[in-house]
Amino acid sequence: MKVITAKTAGFCFGVKRAVDKVYEQAEKGETPVYTYGPIIHNEEVVKDLEKKGVMVIGSAEELSQLHEGTVVIRSHGVSKEIYDMIKQQGLHLIDATCPFVLKIHNIVREQSAKGARIVIIGNKSHPEVEGIYGWCDGGAAVIATEEEALNFTSTPGQKICIVSQTTFNYNKFNKLVEIISEKGYDILVLNTICNATAERQTEAAEIAKAVDAMIVIGGRNSSNTQKLFEICKNECENTYYIQTLVDLDVHSLPSMSCVGITAGASTPNKIIEEVQNNVRNEL
Ligand code: F3S
């Protein structure tokens, strides 16, 4: 029996960096440590951090009540307003925004300051998009569907700068850009999609194609894990979605000679290893 674990399974560079920073702060134990929103979509990690005294701030209102401690900004980043609020309240700020997201903040800040109309291709309610929006001088149009792209209008003569949410689907991004391009505006397109997601998805599909069963590990609410599951299920009928080892009943898996494992961007290595070892030993 062979077990193939995807090399790209689990934390991407930006998430690993953010999680490491929170643990680093928690271990110092100097001041109360907060994260603005859960550091990642993984209940296990959030609970573990909670045990170490790390608290999650859920909103700007909650943030406005704090007057001491360290606030860690997660890899998604935040709007300029939140950033300023943390500083103005005299809180210690640890910025764990992924450098790829920071790059988008800089682009939209500079381009909107020069008068360009910003278009963000992404999901309006995603925290990363809310953060990017908050660095645009004069707001931005957020577009996620073909219908929204078709309905998009701008002031004639105004330059348009298009960026993308880092985790947006590449083909969909191209399609939406194509629709906007046909409107004849002066457009600057910056593809800011991060390769980590595409690489993880491509590798998962390749493995799923070659195995008898595929295990996808990740939080129930993690959209990138849900997507991974869909991709694997398309290639391999015996695909299982689990959060941790507890959800996996190895004996219920049909007899097989090869099992593949991948995991969403928020799944800690420890969980991936546990599943991998268990599958190896049990089958
Ligand atoms: Fe950063 Fe890409 Fe991960 S943008 S947080 S490395 S998915």
Are 115 and 166 spatial neighbours (Cβ–Cβ below 8 Å)? Answer: no
Task: Output the pTM of the full model.
Answer: 0.85
Same domain, yes or no, for 204 and 242? yes
The rounded distance, in Å, linking the Cα atoms of 276 and 48 is 21
Domain boundary among 189, 206, 239: 189
Q: In this structure, which amino acid lies at residue 140?
A: A
| Nearest atom of ligand 1 to the alpha carbon of 15 | 5
Residue with tokens 């097989």: 256
Beta-carbon count within 10 A of 16 CB = 16
Mark whether 178 and 211 lie in a shared domain. no
- Give me the tens of pLDDT residue by residue for the chain, a chain 283 residues long: 799 999 999 999 999 999 999 999 999 988 899 999 999 877 878 999 999 999 999 999 999 999 999 999 999 999 999 999 999 999 999 999 999 999 999 999 999 999 999 999 999 999 999 999 999 999 999 999 999 999 999 998 999 999 999 988 888 999 999 999 999 999 999 999 999 988 999 999 999 999 999 999 998 878 889 999 999 999 999 999 999 899 988 777 767 889 999 999 889 999 999 999 999 887 6
**Nearest-angstrom CA–CA distance, 26 and 149:** 44
Q: Which residues are catalytic?
A: 128
Quote the domain boundaries for residue 173.
100-189
If one counts the domains in the chain, the total is 3
CATH number at residue 29: 3.40.50.11270
Among 96, 123, 145, the domain-final residue is 96
Task: Give, for 2, the enclosing helix (H) or strand (E).
Answer: strand 2-5
Residues with CB under 6 A from ligand 1: 12-15, 75, 98, 100-101, 166-167, 194, 196-197, 265
Dist. CA 280 → ligand 1 center (Å): 30
Distance 102 CA to ligand 1 centre (A): 11
CB 161 within 8 A of CB 113: no
Among the listed residues 77, 75, 76, 70, the one whose alpha carbon sits nearest the alpha carbon of residue 94: 70
For the record, the structure tokens of 32 come out as: 């109360």
CA of 127 to the centre of ligand 1 (A): 13
Ligand 1 nearest-atom number relative to CA 75: 5
CATH of the domain at 124: 3.40.1010.20
Considering the domain architecture, whether residues 199 and 245 belong to the same structural domain is answered as: yes
Q: What Å distances lie between residue 127 and 77, 78, 101, CA to CA?
A: 8, 7, 11
**Residue of the CA atom closest to atom 5 of ligand 1:** 14
Q: State whether 199 and 275 are in the same domain.
A: yes
Statement to judge: residues 92 and 108 lie in one domain: no
Asked if residue 260 and residue 207 are part of one domain, the reply reads: yes
Q: Which atom of ligand 1 is nearest to the CA of 100?
A: 4
86 and 165 assigned to the same domain: no
Residue owning the nearest CA to atom 6 of ligand 1: 14
Phi first, then psi, for residue 60 (nearest 5°) are -65, -35
Domain termination residue (choose one: 96, 126, 155): 96
